[in-house]
Structure 1
């Protein structure tokens, strides 16, 4: 049974870094892992240290251009599916697929319907699916990935950030999405803010599953454009994300 974890949160909170460190933790297991970059900004490959040339957005463009030129008896889903597998990046410890964004205009409803069916079949080949999503919840309403077991909202340590997590929780309910558990991770936490974050999360009824400290190793690598996947074990962020993974049963 595939377990799907989606990481969301507003921009600048470090959700992609948290996603990369969760993948880093899982890579030491014997599980089959699919990482999905569903953020149109496409930062996860760089954070993992991967080079990606083509995205699902490119394949959607291809299908939009070519579908009317294909013979009517051709199975368009099979063609699209083969194109999707062409862009699957097979890394030693995990596979990576990047959603990207289509560049052309027009309605992609038909293509998105094909993609939903393909993704349903694709995720069944894996034990774990870890998805870095764009800010907001529009992607959930599109339901490209229909079932999410655990939704992790990454926030900064401010009260405003935690209220954003509260709003995301309420929006998930309003959208009637198929989400199991909702957790919150506070990122870039300092000793001065730790207790206040815990109390605010409790006041808002949020399930705070971890407080990741501000980590100078991550700041340094971000400035140099270096990946986070090979951060050393002594990184304080790595240590905390490993604990979070254990709390999630990963």
Structure 2
């Protein structure tokens, strides 16, 4: 199963990704969680010890130079557009409590359309994981879906958009849907987060009419307290954990095993 999770910053996208990864791991499944958000904090949400010391792939200059056959990772130089990355998901990911984590990082650049060894490496690596991984793959994306390409997106089973009750969050969901359509992604599911009651749930259903909802997560003070204590939310937020667990069960029923 390959899942991409997106949403406006601050809606709880990373917390949901972490809890979903934990839910699958507790079911005995192999899980690879990929932090593809420039504001990388999936390791913290998963409760990885020393998560601050994990080096993003985008900053591994020697590895990028070696695999792309580039010189000092400079712009405007010749380099391989199809570097070998088949061994990297295992080598570059770290494991904790049944979940493997890889931090992609981002390429700092001015302007758009960056074609450089680092950005090429990230895209090729992402494509490889989406199209060949035999694990449950959870991609914690930014709202712009920067790491997904047209070819890569065809391997994603679902794009899950996390929203909270609020106009800006809803507008971002509509924007993501348009970006996803340009990439050929059709299977989009909505997760409503920080739900305080029936009114919040109904607001999202009305504002996102035409979208399919995977489920809702209640506003849970334990999530906030876990974040303040630098702990994994899944270990403290019992209600949210149960709700995400039911979503994991639902996703497993939707994705038939390959025979």
What do residues 93-126 of structure 1 show as CA deviations (whole Å, max 9, x unaligned)?
1211101134588954344444444444445243
Match of 2:116 in 1: 109
Match of 1:166 in 2: 174
Distance 1:84 1:128 in 2: 13
1:66-81 aligned at under 5 Å gives the runs 67-68=70-71, 77-78=83-84
**In the alignment, does 2:224 pair up with 1:219?**
yes
Distance 2:152 2:19 in 1: 24
Match of 2:250 in 1: 247
1:28-177 aligned at under 5 Å gives the runs 28-50=26-48, 51=51, 52-60=53-61, 62-64=63-65, 67-68=70-71, 77-78=83-84, 85-102=90-107, 107-123=114-130, 124-141=132-149, 147-173=155-181, 175=182, 177=183
Structure 2: any 5+ residue segments left out of the alignment?
73-77, 254-259
**In the alignment, does 2:187 pair up with 1:181?**
yes
Distance 1:136 1:249 in 2: 26
Deviation of 1:230 after TM superposition, in Å, equals 2.3
Distance 1:136 1:105 in 2: 16
Aligned CA distance change for structure 1 residues 18 and 64 (closer, same or farther; 3 Å): same
Is the contact between residue 218 and residue 239 of structure 2 (CA under 8 Å) also seen in structure 1? Answer: yes
Aligned CA distance change for structure 1 residues 38 and 199 (closer, same or farther; 3 Å): closer
What do residues 52-98 of structure 1 show as CA deviations (whole Å, max 9, x unaligned)?
421111125753597237xx9x9x934x6666654221334121110
1:230-241 aligned at under 5 Å gives the runs 230-231=235-236, 235-241=238-244
Aligned CA distance change for structure 1 residues 127 and 164 (closer, same or farther; 3 Å): same
Is the contact between residue 112 and residue 144 of structure 1 (CA under 8 Å) also seen in structure 2? Answer: no
Instruction: Name the count of aligned residue pairs.
Output: 240
What do residues 106-161 of structure 1 show as CA deviations (whole Å, max 9, x unaligned)?
95434444444444444524321001111223333487666211001001112442
How much is the aligned-residue C-alpha RMSD, in angstroms? 3.3
